[in-house]
Structure 1
Amino acid sequence: MADDAPAPLTPLDEDWERALVVVAHPDDVEFGAAAAVARWTDQGKTVVYCMVTSGEAGIDALPPDECRTIREAEQ
């Protein structure tokens, strides 16, 4: 039923200059916030990432230590 649809989100104020994006895995930004980060950087805002893991479990065919080195180099 259309009446049960959630209300649209209210846009947030964008009168700020810096953002900290905190994610668990290196690719979480791309899957969860890439469009927002692109918009913010296009507006001249400074965006810094804090990734709490190195992505060491992200490649099934490699041991975690080898995968960590590759993932950290990608960032």
Structure 2
Amino acid sequence: MRSGLQTLRDLLAKAPDIHYDMQAVLADGDLVAVFGRVTGWGSKPVVVRSIRPSVGQSGCFSMWSSTRFEI
């Protein structure tokens, strides 16, 4: 899947029943971890985890993200 705002807009236009429920946000120094749950994007809910530098960080940064079906 491509990244970016237009990809998100295209996805939501094709599947208006997608819902994102943010479960938790954790911060430690300049790192932020976000845990959420997506429904309406398949047969089962999907758990999403993302870790990245906090907003306002300048320069290049990495973002680590993973998804899996909810058990």
TM more than 0.5: no
Structure number with higher relative contact order (C-alpha < 8 Å, ≥ 6 residues apart): 1
* TM-score bracket for the superposition, by shorter chain length: under 0.3
What TM-score, normalized to structure 2?
A: 0.21
Name the structure with the higher helix share: 1
